[in-house]
Amino acid sequence: MRAPPTSEPSVGPTPRLVKLIPSTSSLRLLQLYLSRFHALLRSRGGEGEASTRLGVGVGAGEMAGGFRVLHLVRPFLAFLPEVQSADRKIPFREKVIYTVISLFIFLVCSQLPLYGIHSTTGADPFYWMRVILASNRGTVMELGITPIVTSGMVMQLLVGSKIIEVDNSVREDRALLNGAQKLLGILIAIGEAVAYVLSGMYGSVSQLGTGNAILIILQLFFAGIIVICLDELLQKGYGLGSGISLFIATNICENIIWKAFSPTTINSGRGAEFEGAVIALFHLLITRTDKVRALREAFYRQNLPNVTNLLATVLVFLIVIYFQGFRVVLPVRSKNARGQQGSYPIKLFYTSNMPIILHSALITNLYFISQLLYRRYSGNFLVNLLGKWKESEYSGHSVPVGGLAYYVTAPSSLADVLANPFHALFYVVFMLSACALFSKTWIEVSGSSAKDVAKQLKEQQMVMPGHRESNLQKELNRYIPTAAAFGGVCIGALTVLADFMGAIGSGTGILLAVTIIYQYFETFEKERATELGFFGF
């Protein structure tokens, strides 16, 4: 253990955004790819043969000559913004600084209103998605992390299902995969920006005018580029963790703090009340003569955050942190180097927060489609079966009141659970089943199943003491599938608990925030212990 340095660490070169000019060879290569692709489409083998020869079928390998579908991305790499990789080990303090700066830029964009919009009044159709997308309505950060998350999950699924072949041990393959993900994210940002404007989110195009419409699209597009670059900055070693996790956790924590200490007053029919639960508590105690009634109202008031919601949030935080420590540690040792031993921990939350993210993505898309259909065809039986909606008087968004959308939505309080037990039972069964299923599925497509882990350990020449190398996968199968399924159920159960208790920010938001913050805590401690010693900062 070494003492912390007495002098400030030397500051190396600042990460730069590199913009390369395409060379003549790149253009020739692009022409070659296009001509080859055109020839394949015209070949007599038909679509199926062309797909196989392109290497996009399940388990497809390379074409004769080594061409693969990822190679189509290569000509575009020269046009993509890129953060230069660190050419030295970044000191811990610099990582903290870069992380704070990235977070500051994100928060500024989250409060910077879009220029040229006509109106953002009315119900927010994307309200249910904003908790996991770190987006803020009517601001430059309207899209949040949607482009990069969507592109990342699509590429992960394509690689995990072997639709696209990637060898992670080859540097060029990793670069092409990252480039493909970045290119897809940029295309998604453009597509969503155009869709937002054309759908009338900020007023009709005729009201906005062509100039303002284009300006709004450009603002959303460049904000998407900023998010992609900030995430890449942190991922390439300049900061701590990933930008996606940092922005999600910050957005959720900001929401919780705002609902606890917001000084905004709202007229809820009982007169003007403070939105923040803590502010409302002190205001009621000071202004009311009946202190017992004031306390009761502060703890149990409806339609606005109350002290019970705040205490439930703190309790769920503590419970999730407690369960984060549950794990099974499997001993491993090197097959070649004697005495070199290690361990492979299998956490209870083996897939971390992925089950709840996938569940949220499914539900929010169901909400979005159901709302769009209900606005146009509210009298249709099938549309009503999918979901019925009404405008909330206080929250400013639509809430489901019937159909499938209603039953997959958490009851708002314990009183609602007692009033409609079937709704509560259906929600619990659906949440637990979905989280377990998503968790089991994710380990297969993300390369973290027992088979994949056994392969990784064998490549590292690691074995488990007391077990044959051929039995490594069988031994891992005793733990990993169980940890994935049971961990998914536990994540779902904690989400249900948070929802039933009325925790601020919803059970999904709380689970995401806690798991991300805990991951950052582990990263922070590891970095600090490695560079500065246990007691140094």
Which pLDDT score is estimated for 532?
57
Distance of CA 209 to the CA centre of its chain: 34
Which pLDDT score is estimated for 226?
92
Q: Is residue 5, in this structure, part of any structural domain at all?
A: no
| 73 plus 117 within the same structural domain | no
Q: Is residue 523, in this structure, part of any structural domain at all?
A: no
328 SS3 class: strand
- In angstroms, rounded to a whole number, what is the distance separating the alpha carbons of residues 279 and 259? 10
| 250 plus 385 within the same structural domain | no
List C-alpha distances in Å: 491 to 73, 94, 156, 312, 421.
37, 34, 22, 16, 22
| 436 plus 492 within the same structural domain | yes
User: Which amino acid is present at 407?
Assistant: Y
Tokens of 191: 């597509």
Tokens of 113: 């209103």
Q: Is residue 94, in this structure, part of any structural domain at all?
A: yes
Beta strands in 31-99 (DSSP E): 82-83
Beta strands in 134-282 (DSSP E): 265-267, 272-274
| 285 plus 178 within the same structural domain | no
- In angstroms, rounded to a whole number, what is the distance separating the alpha carbons of residues 63 and 200? 46
Q: Is residue 495, in this structure, part of any structural domain at all?
A: yes
| 234 plus 352 within the same structural domain | no
At residue 233, what are phi and psi to the nearest 5 degrees?
Answer: -60, -45
| 115 plus 233 within the same structural domain | yes
| 376 plus 442 within the same structural domain | yes
| 350 plus 323 within the same structural domain | yes
Which pLDDT score is estimated for 302?
80
List C-alpha distances in Å: 17 to 81, 243, 247, 253.
6, 16, 21, 30
- The burial class, CB within 10 Å (0-12 / 13-18 / 19+), for 367 is buried
Q: Is residue 46, in this structure, part of any structural domain at all?
A: yes
| 415 plus 495 within the same structural domain | yes
CATH label of the domain that carries residue 175: 1.10.3370.10
Contacts of 275 (CB under 8 A, 6+ apart): 258, 259, 262, 263, 264, 265, 266, 304, 305
- In angstroms, rounded to a whole number, what is the distance separating the alpha carbons of residues 150 and 324? 27
- 361 half-sphere exposure, CB direction, 13 A CA radius: 15
Which pLDDT score is estimated for 61?
40
Q: Is residue 536, in this structure, part of any structural domain at all?
A: no
| Closest to 56 (Cα-Cα) out of 68, 71, 66 | 68
342 SS3 class: strand
| 430 plus 497 within the same structural domain | yes
Beta-carbon count within 10 A of 181 CB: 20
- In angstroms, rounded to a whole number, what is the distance separating the alpha carbons of residues 151 and 147? 6
Q: How many domains does the chain have?
A: 4
Virtual CA dihedral for 475, 478, 483, 485, nearest 10 degrees?
A: 130
| 117 plus 232 within the same structural domain | yes
Which pLDDT score is estimated for 339?
65
Please answer whether residues 111 and 139 qualify as being in contact, where contact means their C-beta atoms are separated by less than 8 angstroms. yes
Q: What is the pLDDT along the chain (537 residues), one digit of tens a residue?
A: 344 443 344 444 444 444 433 444 444 444 444 444 444 444 434 433 333 333 333 333 443 334 467 777 788 888 888 888 777 888 888 888 999 999 999 999 888 988 888 766 556 667 767 777 888 888 899 888 888 878 877 887 787 777 777 776 677 787 888 888 888 889 988 988 888 888 777 878 888 888 889 999 999 999 999 998 998 888 888 888 888 888 888 888 888 898 889 888 887 666 778 888 899 899 888 888 888 888 888 888 887 888 888 898 888 888 888 888 888 888 888 777 666 777 888 888 888 878 887 887 788 778 878 887 888 888 889 999 999 988 776 556 778 888 999 999 888 777 788 888 999 999 999 999 999 988 888 887 777 888 888 888 888 878 888 777 778 888 888 888 888 889 899 988 988 888 888 888 777 788 888 888 888 888 888 877 776 554 444
- In angstroms, rounded to a whole number, what is the distance separating the alpha carbons of residues 150 and 171? 24
- In angstroms, rounded to a whole number, what is the distance separating the alpha carbons of residues 107 and 121? 22
- In angstroms, rounded to a whole number, what is the distance separating the alpha carbons of residues 387 and 373? 9
| 295 plus 215 within the same structural domain | no
Q: Is residue 426, in this structure, part of any structural domain at all?
A: yes
Contacts of 318 (CB under 8 A, 6+ apart): none
Q: Does the model's pTM come out above 0.85?
A: no
Distance of CA 140 to the CA centre of its chain: 19
Q: List the domain range (segments joined by +) for residue 407.
A: 314-504
Beta-carbon count within 10 A of 336 CB: 8
Which pLDDT score is estimated for 123?
62
- In angstroms, rounded to a whole number, what is the distance separating the alpha carbons of residues 25 and 31? 10
Q: Is residue 8, in this structure, part of any structural domain at all?
A: no
Please answer whether residues 448 and 164 qualify as being in contact, where contact means their C-beta atoms are separated by less than 8 angstroms. no
